[in-house]
Structure 1
């Protein structure tokens, strides 16, 4: 029997989910919460296998609560059920440790299948969210590859940019002309797929392309 904890501040959705789950012989709702208050106490007493979690809650959002649950009860599975399609929510939920991410427009049978899947230790994503994840990793890998494509001289220039040097200062340090510096900077921006020196600096630091000054 899969023990399920519902966390959503909309009574209609909770009632609807309970009606759907009532048909399932191997899933039982063991608790309901409308906010993150007392979530740890509720998990302690009800011992759910899966938490069906909304993101938009009155006190703390579902992403914060997911992180809290995973740190305190790592074996408890969290399935996000939300209306939010935004990349930032999706990525943040995965980073927080969510085992699945579904949108509220998903068919009821899909939600039931997702509950079974995460209870078995699988990861479940709404089809549109799955595509976002694939696109994200493809872009990340592409940008990472671009970082590796920098020549040694371009990396030297990028180090100077991170240190905050002007084109003239870079030219003096590397014994090249101002014109050559501009060419290197232009090539760096193209290879890193960024639009400005500041974006190049941020990307270089975040991805450890160059050592910190």
Structure 2
């Protein structure tokens, strides 16, 4: 019997996802959490075979969530299952320690395949992620959407800026200095060709359309 935690704050999505999982694993024990603190409680109390993790959840901590799960259960497979841009974020979450990244726009069959792959082989990468990985290893191949040029830390700072966080708040949240936040902010602005947070918001919104 497999033990799975589904971290997702939309009840309809949880219901549909569990339906698909049970098609792959008819016999399983599942836990659900609609926010990050509750998810941590489950991971600290139950031995799990898989964590399916949405990123945009209440009290979520972005890339840091992977590390906190790992400190509680170092070997548990973690599959990010999210609506955030796969091409931009997937490699960063894999580098942060996730075993796979699956878009919520994936077909039912791809979801089944991904879950089975992670449980059997401990890794899953969609064709989009494989292409992004290949491109990242080819000098001069990173073109197109400038968001793909941002580092993991720059993406974290950018997302917090877009949430309206101030420099001091970002520094506290990421456990870095205020000067480091300012440095990352300057790099983000330069890479995206903007000079203010308002322009950043407009630029990112356009790039994600």
Q: How does the TM-score come out when normalised to structure 2?
A: 0.61
In the alignment of these two chains, the number of paired residues is 144
Q: CA deviation at 1:17?
A: 1.0
Q: Flag as ranges the 4+ runs of structure 1 deviating above 6 A.
A: none
Q: Name which of structure 1's ranges 64-73 and 24-33 shifts more when overlaid on structure 2.
A: 24-33
* SS, match of residue 43 in structure 2: helix
Tell me how far 1:62 sits from its aligned partner.
Answer: 4.7
- State the Cα deviation string for residues 102-157 of structure 1 (Å, max 9, x = none): 11111122212211211223311121121111101123899xxxxxxxxxxxxxxx
Counterpart for residue 45 of structure 1: 45
Structure 2 Cα separation of the partners of residues 122 and 140 of structure 1: 31
Quote the RMSD (CA, aligned, Å): 2.5
Separation of aligned partners in 2, 1:33 and 1:45? 13
- Output the CA distance in 1 between the equivalents of 2:29 and 2:77: 14
- 1:13 matched residue in structure 2: 13
The verdict on how the C-alpha distance between 1:2 and 1:112 changes in structure 2, with shifts beyond 3 A counting, is farther
For residue 57 of structure 2, give the secondary structure of its aligned residue in structure 1: coil
3-state SS of the aligned residue for 1:80? strand
Q: Describe the SS at the equivalent of 1:84.
A: coil
Residue 65 of structure 1 is matched in structure 2 by 65
Write out per-residue CA displacement over residues 144-199 of structure 1, whole angstroms, 9 at most, x where no aligned residue.
xxxxxxxxxxxxxxxxxxxxxxxxxxxxxxxxxxxxxxxxxxxxxxxxxxxxxx99
Contact persistence 1:6–1:29 (CA under 8 A): no
Q: Which residue matches 1:99?
A: 99
Contact in 2 for aligned 1:21/1:28 (Cα 8 Å) = no
Q: Alignment partner of 1:6: what SS?
A: strand
Separation (CA, whole Å) in 1 of partners of 2:2 and 2:94: 22
Q: Which residue of 2 aligns with 1:90?
A: 90
Compare CA radii of gyration and give the structure with the larger one.
1
Q: 1:53 to 1:3 in 2, by over 3 A?
A: same
1:118-197 alignment, distance < 5 Å = 118-139=118-139
Mind listing any 5+ residue stretches in structure 2 that lack a counterpart?
A: 143-189, 192-209
In 2, the alpha carbon distance for the partners of 1:106 and 1:24 equals 16
Question: What is the CA-CA distance between 1:25 and the residue it aligns to?
Answer: 4.0
DSSP-derived class of the 1:102 partner: strand
Could you tell me whether the CA contact under 8 Å between 1:52 and 1:79 is conserved in 2? yes
Q: Deviations over 1:57-80 (max 9, x none)?
A: 121145321121123211101001
CA–CA separation in structure 2 for the residues paired with 1:51 and 1:12? 18
Q: Superposition pairs for residues 26-41 of structure 1, below 5 Å?
A: 26=26, 28-41=28-41
* Structure 1 gap segments, 5+ residues each: 143-197, 200-213
Whole-Å separation in 1 of the counterparts to 2:12 and 2:101: 20
* Pairwise CA distance, 1:26: 4.8
